[in-house]
Amino acid sequence: MTSPTPQDLDTLNDIVGEKGLIRPGGHGGDDLVPYETCVRYGSGQAAFVVRPATSKEVSRVLAYCHGRGITLVPQSGNSGLVGASTPDGSGTQGVLSFDRLTGTSESDATTYGQILFDEENRTVTVGAGVRLSDLNAFLEPKGYVFPIDLGADPRIGGMIATNTGGARFLRYGDVRQNTLGVKVVLADEAGTELNFMSGLRKDNTGIDWKHLFIGTTGVLGVITEAVLNVVRLPQQSTAALLVPRDEAAVLKLLLEMEERCDTNLTAFEGMSAEAIRAAFDHVPSLRNPFPGGEIPNYVLLVELSRTWAKRDSEQSLDELMEVVLAEIWEDEDAPLDNAFIGRPEEMWALRHALSEGVKHAGKLVAFDVSFRRGDLMKFRAFMAKELPEKFPNVRICDFGHVGDGGLHFNLSIPQDDPRLDDENFIPSLREWVVQIVVEKYNGSFSAEHAIGRSNQGFYDSYTPKKVKELAAQIKNVLSPGNLGDVKLG
Amino acid sequence: MTSPTPQDLDTLNDIVGEKGLIRPGGHGGDDLVPYETCVRYGSGQAAFVVRPATSKEVSRVLAYCHGRGITLVPQSGNSGLVGASTPDGSGTQGVLSFDRLTGTSESDATTYGQILFDEENRTVTVGAGVRLSDLNAFLEPKGYVFPIDLGADPRIGGMIATNTGGARFLRYGDVRQNTLGVKVVLADEAGTELNFMSGLRKDNTGIDWKHLFIGTTGVLGVITEAVLNVVRLPQQSTAALLVPRDEAAVLKLLLEMEERCDTNLTAFEGMSAEAIRAAFDHVPSLRNPFPGGEIPNYVLLVELSRTWAKRDSEQSLDELMEVVLAEIWEDEDAPLDNAFIGRPEEMWALRHALSEGVKHAGKLVAFDVSFRRGDLMKFRAFMAKELPEKFPNVRICDFGHVGDGGLHFNLSIPQDDPRLDDENFIPSLREWVVQIVVEKYNGSFSAEHAIGRSNQGFYDSYTPKKVKELAAQIKNVLSPGNLGDVKLG
C-alpha cells in the first residue's frame, strides 16, 4: 500500500490528460465524492480518480501503478451492492473509473466511441464504460436488446465483473452466457492488454480466458471492452400473478409452466406479502390487483413473451396463458389457488417497486443468495420458523428469481429497535443467515453481486483453504498488482 | 517422461484393483489396443491402462503418477477427432480410462453408480464415464434430455473436456452452458480433489473454476463427476429443407427465421451439394427429396420444436413453418429459392449421414472451424474460388452449423491421387486452409473438438506468445504433473 505522491499524479495526468484525472481538492474540493460513495454500503476516501478513455490508456495506468505499488480500485457504474467499487478509508487508493471508457479499439477512427453492431452475428462490441440503458437505447430501434433485465443501470464492465443475472435469467442466462469476448488489461509490469474479442460462438482452442475475468470483481484484470450477444426484442408479452396453493406448490408450478410454455416462459419471480406490502406503502400509486386489496402470502409473477408480432392465424400469448392455467387448474390437486392475468407493465411495476419498497420499510439487511431451485422455498420455510426464535421482531420481506434459485432475502428491522445500537447485532444476524444458506442448504452467499468488501468475510470463511491458495496463485500469475480491495487468496 | 516399472504397475494395481488395470501383454496380449487407437487419427502405444472406478481412486492414481513422473493421458469415450485421447508412440504413457468412472460420490452407498436426477433443479449428477446415450436413455422416460446433439456417442467427461457443441447449439448452447458443476482431480503431489458440485445456477463467489477445466482437454485436471442442466424433451417438431437464392441469402434467411420463430428454431444447418451427394452414395436407402433428384448447390435444414404436445386450440409447428415460409416468400427479393417441408426424421437422417458419407468419398481432410456467423458463407465463397487454383482436384464437401458459425469444412481428394504419396501434401493443404480461417476471417481452427495432437501445431502458431506463457503458468499452478500430450504453454 503506497500513498501516491504529487509526482505520481503528474505522471498519471500525462497518460490520461486533464479530463482524465481528478485530484483531491480539485474544483470545489468535492469532485472525488461521487467516486468515493457506493450506492448502498458505506464510503471511502480516494487518493485520486483516474478516468482513462481507451484500453491503451488503462494499460499505461496499470503498468505505472503496478510499478509504484499503488492500489487501483476499478469502478464501473458504481451501482453494486457489496462494496467492491469504492476505495477504503485510508486515502491511499486510487479509483480507476470507467466513465470515459465508452469506445472500442475494434472500430476505426471514424466510429471510435460508438457501439459496433454486427447484426448477422447478433453481437455488439462495446467499451466497458457504456451504460446498460445506453446500449439498449442504441439497440431498441434496431429491434434488439441485451437481455439482462436489472433494476439498476450499471455499466457493461461492472456487469461482466460481477456477472449479473436479473429477472429474465430463466430464459436468457446471465452476463457470462451473453459475453462472447473481452479485452482485458492486467495489473503487471507491462500493463498487458489481452485481446479475446473474436466474438465467436464456438471456439475451443485452449483456455477460454474470459471466464477468469467474468464474475471476479476486476481482481484478476480490468475488462475494458467486450463483445456481447444480443437478442430480438420481444414483440408480444403477457403476464400473470399466480397464488400458489402452498409453499411446495411453487416448484410444482414452475415445472408445469416450463413444460407447458417452453421458452415462452421468460420470467418466474416470487414475491412475499411483506415485500409487496412495502412496495404499496412506498409507491401509493401502484394498483393493488388483489380482490379486496388482500395480499396473498406469496405471489408469483410469470411472464410469457415472443420475438414476433402476433399473426392472425395464431393464438395470442394471453390465450396461451389462459389455456395453460386452465390445464394446470384441471388437476385435482392443482398447485394453484388463484391467478390474475393483467397488464404486464402493471405487474412489472409492482415487481420493480419491491426493491425500493423494502429499503423504506425499516433498517434493511439484504442478502443476495441462491439455492438449487428446490431448496429455495425450503430455506424460506426454515427461516419463517427459526428466525423469530433466534432474532425476534425481524421481518422477512424477500423476493426472488424462483426460476433460477436466486433469492433477495431481505430482513427488515424497525428503525427504532434498540438492538441497532449494538454494532454486533447486524453482523451476527448476517452470519447466522449465511451459515444456514451455505451449510444447511448448500447455497451461495453471493448469487449475482460477486465479491466485495461487505461479503469478503463470507468468502474467507466458506471457501476451502486449497481453493483460496490456488486463487492467490492465479491472481499472482495474471495481475500481481493491486486491483481493488477484494482478496481471493 | 518416465517409463513405468513393473513396481509402478503393482502400486497402481493396489489402488484400482485387478479390474482397474490393464498391463501390456495381458490376456491375448492385445487388451491395450482399443485404448491405443483413436477413432479418426492415428494410434499410439500405451505403457498401461488404468481404469479407476471412483474420483478418490483417480486422486490416488494422479498423486502416484505425479510423484513418479509418469504421463497419464485421460481417455473418455475416445471418440474425439483431434488425437487428444490416445498415447504417443513412445510406449511410456499410461492411459487413464473413464470406462468405470460411472458413479458419483454425491450419492450414498445404495445409489452409487447411478445417475442422480434432481427434477426440481432440472439437473443430473453423473460420473464422467457415463455415455451420452446412457444418460439420455435414463432421462427420456422422465421427459427430459441432455440437449447436446451429436453424431458420436462420447462419455460426459470428454464432452466437458472438449466442450462439444453439436447441431442444436443455436437453441441449447454448448456443454459449457449446460455444465453447472464439476468435480476435478489435479495432477499434483496430493492428487487434489476439488468439489465444485453445488449445481447452483447463480453463484458468483470468486473464480468460477469449472471454466478452466471445460474445453481444455484434461490438461489442467481430470473431470471425474459433473452436474448437468437438462431440458424438457421436445414433444413437437417439424423440419424443412430450404434452398437459398444465393450465398448471401443464407444469413438473411437465418435472421428472418430467428425473428419469426424465436426459440422455436432449434436447428439451422447448412449442407453442400457435394456432402449430400456423398451421403446418397454411401447410404443408398436415403430418400432423395429434391425434384428430379437434382441436388441444389446449398441446402439448409431448419427445425422447429417445442416441449409441449400440440393443443387443439393452437397452430401446429407444421402450420407455423408454412406461415413463416410464406411470409418470407412474400418479399420481392425473397432470399428463398425453394422449400420442402417433410418428415423431420428423414431430413435428419440425411443430415446425420453426411459425416459418414464424406469419409467414404475419397481421402478426407477435415476441419472443424468457426466464424462470426456472417463470415461463414464468405469463407466458403473464397475457398470455392481460391482452392482450385492453389490445390486443384480437391473437392469441398462441407456442412455446418450456420446458426452458430461452426463449419465442418471437409476436403476430399481422390484416393488414387499421386499427391497423397507426398507426405507434405496434406500438411501444407491443412496449413493453408487454417491460415485463411484464422488470419483472413478471424475464425477458430477448433470450434468444438478442442486441442489434441493433430491441431497442437495450430495452437502453437496462432496463440499469442504472452497467452501461452500465462497458460503454462496456470497449468503449473493447477496440475504440474503430466496430463495428456497437449502443451498449452
pLDDT, one tens digit per residue, over A102-145 is 988 876 656 666 899 999 999 999 999 999 999 999 999 999 99
Separation CA A88–CA A75 (nearest Å) = 13
Separation CA A378–CA A384 (nearest Å) = 10
Check CB contact of B192 with chain A, cutoff 8 Å.
Answer: yes
Check CB contact of A247 with chain B, cutoff 8 Å.
Answer: no
pLDDT digits (tens, 9 = 90+) for B136-189: 999 999 999 999 998 889 999 999 999 999 899 999 999 999 999 999 999 999
The H or E element spanning position B374 is: helix B373-390
Q: Which residue has the cell 412474400?
A: B330
Contact B117, B124 (CB under 8 A): yes
The residue count of chain A comes to 489
Three-class SS of A85-147: CCCCCCCCEEEEECCCCCCCCCCCHHHCCCCEEECCCCEEEEECCCEHHHHHHHHHHHCEECC
What dihedral angle (degrees, nearest 10) is formed by the CA atoms of A22, A25, A28, A33?
60
Pairs across A and B, CB distance < 8 A: 243
The H or E element spanning position A480 is: none
The H or E element spanning position A325 is: helix A317-330
Q: Which amino acid is at B31?
A: D
Separation CA A302–CA A239 (nearest Å) = 6
Contact A52, A100 (CB under 8 A): yes
Q: Identify the DSSP state of A430.
A: H
- Residue B370 to residue A177, Cβ atoms within 8 A: no
Separation CA A35–CA A87 (nearest Å) = 8
Separation CA B212–CA B220 (nearest Å) = 7
> Three cell numbers at B203?
453463484
Check CB contact of A198 with chain B, cutoff 8 Å.
Answer: yes
Check CB contact of A483 with chain B, cutoff 8 Å.
Answer: no
Q: Which residues pair with A339 in a beta bridge?
A: A242
* Close Cβ partners of A33 (under 8 Å, ≥ 6 residues apart): none
Q: Is B345 exposed, middle or buried (0-12, 13-18, 19+ CB in 10 A)?
A: exposed
Separation CA B453–CA B376 (nearest Å) = 26
In this complex, the residue of B198, B209, B447 whose CB is nearest that of residue A204 is B447
- Residue A372 to residue B199, Cβ atoms within 8 A: yes
The Cα-based distances of B4 to B1, B52, B84, B220 in angstroms read 9, 17, 21, 22
Separation CA B205–CA A486 (nearest Å) = 11
pLDDT value at residue B485: 87
In this complex, the residue of B119, B207, B232 whose CB is nearest that of residue A212 is B207
Residues of chain B with CATH 3.30.70.2190: 236-355
For the structural domain made of B1-233+472-489, what CATH number should be given? 3.30.465.10
Which parts of chain B have pLDDT scores under 70? 1, 26-29, 40-42, 108-111
* Close Cβ partners of A63 (under 8 Å, ≥ 6 residues apart): A188, A189, A190, A191
Q: Which residue has the cell 465444485?
A: B196
Check CB contact of A207 with chain B, cutoff 8 Å.
Answer: yes
pLDDT digits (tens, 9 = 90+) for B277-288: 999 999 999 999
- Residue B121 to residue A262, Cβ atoms within 8 A: no
Supply the Cα-derived Rg of chain B in whole angstroms.
Answer: 24
The H or E element spanning position B324 is: helix B317-330
Supply the Cα-derived Rg of chain A in whole angstroms.
Answer: 24
Which parts of chain A have pLDDT scores under 70? 1, 26-29, 40-42, 107-113
Residue of A nearest to B202 (CA): A447
Q: Which residues on chain B are in Cβ contact (under 8 Å) with A118? A: 372, 374
Residues of chain A with CATH 3.30.70.2740: 362-450
Residue A40: φ, ψ to 5°? -110, -40
- Residue B207 to residue A209, Cβ atoms within 8 A: no
Separation CA A376–CA A370 (nearest Å) = 7
Separation CA B264–CA B323 (nearest Å) = 14
Collapsing DSSP to helix, strand or coil, A156 comes out as helix
Q: At the topology level of CATH, where does B362-449 sit? A: Alpha-Beta Plaits (3.30.70)
**Helices and strands: H and E segment counts in chain B:** 15, 19
Domain covering A114-232: architecture:
2-Layer Sandwich (3.30)
**pTM to 2 decimal places:** 0.97
- Residue A463 to residue B205, Cβ atoms within 8 A: yes
Q: What ipTM was reported for this prediction?
A: 0.96
Residues of chain B with CATH 3.30.465.10: 1-233+472-489
Instruction: Please say whether the structural domain B236-355 has been given the CATH code 3.40.50.300.
Output: no
Residue of B nearest to A120 (CA): B374
What dihedral angle (degrees, nearest 10) is formed by the CA atoms of B111, B185, A436, A420?
-170
> Three cell numbers at A124?
455488439
> Three cell numbers at A290?
388483489
pLDDT value at residue A26: 65
Contact A129, A106 (CB under 8 A): no
For the structural domain made of A362-450, what CATH number should be given? 3.30.70.2740
- Residue A120 to residue B198, Cβ atoms within 8 A: no
Separation CA B159–CA B77 (nearest Å) = 9
- Among residues A181, A180, A182, A147, the alpha carbon closest in space to that of A166 is found at A147
